Amino acid sequence: MAGSALRRLMAEYKQLTINPPEGIIAGPINEENFFEWEALITGPEGTCFEGGIFPAKLHFPPDYPLSPPKMEFTCEMFHPNIYADGRVCISILHAPGDDPMGYESSAERWSPVQSVEKILLSVVSMLAEPNDESGANVDAAKMWREDREQFNKIAEKIVRKTLSLD
Amino acid sequence: MKALLATVISLGLTTVVIGNAYYQKKQFYPSIVYLTNSNPSMAVMYLQAFILVLLVGKLLRKIFFGQLRPAEFEHLIERSWYAITETCLAFTVFRDDFNPKFIALFTLLLFLKAFHWLAEDRVDYMERSPVIGLLFHVRILTLLMLLAHADFYFIHHAYQFTAVKGPSVQLVFGFEYSILIIMIVNILIKYVLHAIDSRWEAPWESKAAVLLYTELAINFLKVLLYIGFVAVMVRIYTLPLFAFRPMYETMRSFKKAYNDVVLSRRAIRNMNTLYPDATPAELAAADNECIICREEMHTGAKKLPCNHIFHAACLRLWFQRQQTCPTCRLNVLRAPAPEAAGAPGPAPPAPPLVGLPPHVAPAPPPPGPVPPPFPNMPPPPPMMAWGMPPPPPLRARRLLPTSPPRSCSAWRAMSAGTLKPGYKYSIQYLPCLSLQLLREIQAMLDASVLLMQQYSTVVANLPQNNVTVSTQTETRIEELIKESPISTTQGKSEPDVVPTTSSYKQPSPVPSTSKTIVTEDTSPMQPDTTTPVDTNRDKTDVDAADELRRRRLQKFALDK
C-alpha cells in the first residue's frame, strides 16, 4: 500500500538521521511500519518547558504527504494547543478542507512541502509561544492568559515528570 | 452509570404501573384498557419503550462497531439532534395521523439512520487506520446488507401503501428510505475502493478521481430526490420545512463536488497542456528534487506558472485535492498560462537614446498594436507619453503572478535557512500572504495612476496634436532624466534584476539564489517610490507641466 508515501517517509527518516535538527529526535517505532513514528522533543530554552524531554507519536496517513500526519504527545501535557489526551492542534497539521476551530486561513495549512522536521520545529515553537486563541485545552489557555505563574508551575511539574525526577 | 440508573428506574416504574393496573382490574383485557386510557401510565410505557430502543441500539452497536471512537460519538450525537428536531417538524405536517404507530415508525427511522451514519464514519476511517482485520470487513459487510434490506423493505412498503391508499405519511418514509439506500450505495462504493486500495502494493492513482466522481453522482441523485420530494409535498400537503436543512446541505455538497471535479479537471488539463516540461537546466537549478515525493526528477516534471517544479504525477494527485502550488499556494487556476506571461519580449532598443539603459527607455510604440508591458520597466512615466492607452489592468495582472510567489519562496528559503525554534510556528505563510496582498494593492494603484496620467496627457496634448508620438516620448524621457534622480538610479539597478524576472523566456543558467531574489523583491516595490511623485506633479500643475513640455520641445527642435 502506498509506495510513494513509504518512499517519502524513508527519505525523510534518512534526512533526519543524517542531519538532525537541534533538540529533536524522530523515527519509526519499528522499521517494519514506517507509518507510525515516535519523536522526542526537548523543551525550548528560556520557556517554562525548558529542560523537559517530551515523547510524542506521529501517525501518517496512507496518502502522505497529500494529507497531514497526526501527532500526539504520549506524556502528560498541559498546554493551550494540546488536547487533554495529547493530540496536538496546530494549523499546519490540518488539511485545507477542515477547520476544527474555524479561524485558520488555508494559507497556513498542510501542504506537501511540509515535512516531519518542519512539523516538529513548529511544535517546539508552539511550546514556546502558545496560541491561546485556539483553545484545544481551554483550561490551559485560560490559565496561560490569566495566571501565568500557576501555568509555569504546572509546566515545571510536567517537565520534572518527563525527566522522572518526581 | 447514569444509563443503568435510568434503565432501572424505568423498569421499576413500568412494573409499578402494570402491577397497579392488574391489581385494580384483576383481568388481562380490562387492565390493558385501563393502561391505554391513563395518560401517566402511557407516559411511563413510552419511556420504557424508548429505553428499550436505546438498549437494543447499544447491543447492535457493540455487535457491529465495538467501541465507538470519540469523533464518531460526537458526530452521532450532533446528527441525532438535527434529526430529532426535523422529525418534530414533520409531526406538525402530519398531526392528523398522530398515533403510537406513527411515532414508532419515526423512531425506527431515526434508529436506522443512526446506524447508517455510523457505518459511513467507520468506512471513512478505513483510509486512515493502519490495520484492518477480518472482523472489520465481516462487521461492515453484514451491517450494510442488513441496512440495505431494511431500507428496501420500507421503500417497498411505502410504495404499496401509497399505491393502494393514496398519499399519506408513507410518502415521507418512502423518501427518507430512498435517501438512506443511496447512502448505502455510497458507503459500499467507498468501502470497495478503500478495500482494493489497501490490498494493492502500488499507490492507486485514480482512486481519488473515482471518489470525486462517485461523490458527484451520489449528490446529484440526492438533489434530484429532494427536489422531487419537496415538489410532491408542496402539491399534496404543504411546504415540508423539515426537509429544507438536509436539502440545502445536499445542494451545497453537490455544488462543492461539482466545483471540485471541474477545478481539478481544469488544473490537470492546464498542467498537461499549458505548463511546460521542465528542462534539464531548470531541474538542476531546483536541486532536481520533487518536493512532494522527495525523489529525483528526471522526466515528467512540470513547471508551474510560479516556476516551481514537480513531478507531473505528484501534481495530479495534489490537484485533485487543491488547485494551488504546494510551495507558494499560488492558485494555478487564477494564474495566467506561462506563455501569456512570458510572451512579451524584452524591450526593443531605442536608437536615439544611447545614454539610457534600454529598459527604462521604451521604443516609440509601433502604430498598430498595443505596446507590450515589460515586467521591469519603471512603469508609469514613460508610458504616460505614449499616444495610445497601454492596457493597465493587463499589466497589473501580469505583474502579480510572476513576482509574488517567487518572493514567497524566497521568504521561505530564508526562513528555512535560519529556522530557529523561536519563529512563529503557524504564521509562516503570513508574510507571503500580506506581501501578496500589498502587491495586489500596489498593482491596482499603479493601474489607476497610469489611467490618471493618460487622462492628463490627453488633456494636455489636446491643443498640439501635430506633435508626433515618438518625439513626445523622447522629450518626456529626457525630462524624466533631468527631473527625477530616482528613475536613473533605478535604471542602473535594472540589469541585476532582468535575468531573474524574464526567466520565462530565457531559462537562467544561474539558480535564483536568495540574493537575486532579494533584489527582485525590491523591484516591484520601486513604483511605490516613483509614482507618488509623478501623480502629485501631474495632478497639481498639469498646466505648468504642459508649458514646460512645450518649451522643451522648442529647445529640442533648436538643438537638432
Confidence of residue B223 (pLDDT cuts 50, 70, 90): very high
CA distance B458 to B452: 10
| A48 carries an active-site annotation | no
Number of C-beta neighbours around residue B543 at 10 A: 10
Chain A residues lying within 8 Å of B433, measured CB to CB: 105, 107
Instruction: Specify the CATH number for the domain of residue A138.
Output: 3.10.110.10
Most confident of A44-58, B96-110, B421-435: A44-58
Residue A24 touches chain B, beta carbons under 8 Å: no
Q: Which of A3, A123, A125 sits opposite B202 (nearest CB)?
A: A3
Does B425 sit within 8 Å of A125, measured CB to CB? yes
Say whether both B203 and B79 belong to one domain. yes
Q: Residue B90: pLDDT above 50?
A: yes
pLDDT by residue (tens digit) across B344-396? Answer: 333 333 333 334 343 433 444 444 444 444 444 444 444 444 444 444 444 43
In a domain, B161, yes or no: yes
Burial of B162 (0-12, 13-18, 19+ CB in 10 A): middle
**Of B27 and B430, which is predicted with more confidence?**
B27
Say whether both B161 and B196 belong to one domain. yes
Strand, helix or coil at B439? Answer: helix
* Residue ranges making up the domain that contains A115: 4-163
Catalytic member of A82, A89, A90, A140: A89
Mean pLDDT of the region B282-298 = 76
In a domain, B121, yes or no: yes
Say whether both B280 and B311 belong to one domain. yes
Candidate from B38-42, B322-326, B330-334, B346-350 with smallest mean pLDDT: B346-350
Looking at residue B129, its pLDDT comes to 62
Residue A33 touches chain B, beta carbons under 8 Å: yes
Does B326 sit within 8 Å of A122, measured CB to CB? no
Say whether both B11 and B81 belong to one domain. no
Say whether both B45 and B74 belong to one domain. no
**Of A57 and B72, which is predicted with more confidence?**
A57
**Of B154 and B544, which is predicted with more confidence?**
B154
Best to test chain A binding among B290, B425, B435 (most A CBs inside 10 Å): B425
Q: Would you give the DSSP letter of residue B324?
A: B
Q: Which of B130, B203, B322 sits opposite A36 (nearest CB)?
A: B130
Looking at residue A2, its pLDDT comes to 44
Q: Residue B315: pLDDT above 80?
A: yes
Percent of chain B with pLDDT over 90: 12
Does B317 sit within 8 Å of A111, measured CB to CB? no
In a domain, B444, yes or no: no
Overall domain count for chain A: 1
Cα of A2 to nearest chain B Cα, Å: 4
Does B293 sit within 8 Å of A8, measured CB to CB? yes
In a domain, B185, yes or no: yes
Looking at residue B123, its pLDDT comes to 87
Instruction: Specify the CATH number for the domain of residue B304.
Output: 3.30.40.10
Say whether both B283 and B175 belong to one domain. no
How high is the ipTM of this complex? 0.80
Overall domain count for chain B: 3
Say whether both B239 and B304 belong to one domain. no
Say whether both B74 and B198 belong to one domain. yes
- Domain edge (last residue) among B39, B67, B95: B67
In a domain, B469, yes or no: no
Candidate from A66-70, A72-76, B386-390 with smallest mean pLDDT: B386-390
pTM of the predicted structure, to 2 decimals: 0.55
**Of B52 and B26, which is predicted with more confidence?**
B52
Looking at residue A166, its pLDDT comes to 66
Looking at residue B303, its pLDDT comes to 81
CB burial readout A33-65, b (16+ within 10 A) else e: ebbebebebbbbeebbbebbebebbbebbbbbb
In a domain, B19, yes or no: yes
In a domain, B73, yes or no: yes
Say whether both B168 and B298 belong to one domain. no
Residue B317 touches chain A, beta carbons under 8 Å: yes
Say whether both B112 and B239 belong to one domain. yes
Looking at residue B346, its pLDDT comes to 38
Candidate from A18-27, B257-266, B466-475 with smallest mean pLDDT: B466-475
pLDDT by residue (tens digit) across A33-63? Answer: 788 899 999 988 888 888 889 999 998 887 7
CA distance B233 to B240: 6
**Of B404 and B175, which is predicted with more confidence?**
B175
* Residue ranges making up the domain that contains B4: 1-67
Mean pLDDT of the region A70-82 = 89
Confidence of residue B256 (pLDDT cuts 50, 70, 90): confident
Chain A residues lying within 8 Å of B425, measured CB to CB: 90, 92, 121-126, 129
Chain B residues lying within 8 Å of A33, measured CB to CB: 130
Say whether both B192 and B202 belong to one domain. yes
Q: Residue B542: pLDDT above 90?
A: no
Cα of A126 to nearest chain B Cα, Å: 6
In a domain, B52, yes or no: yes
**Of A115 and B461, which is predicted with more confidence?**
A115
Say whether both B9 and B133 belong to one domain. no
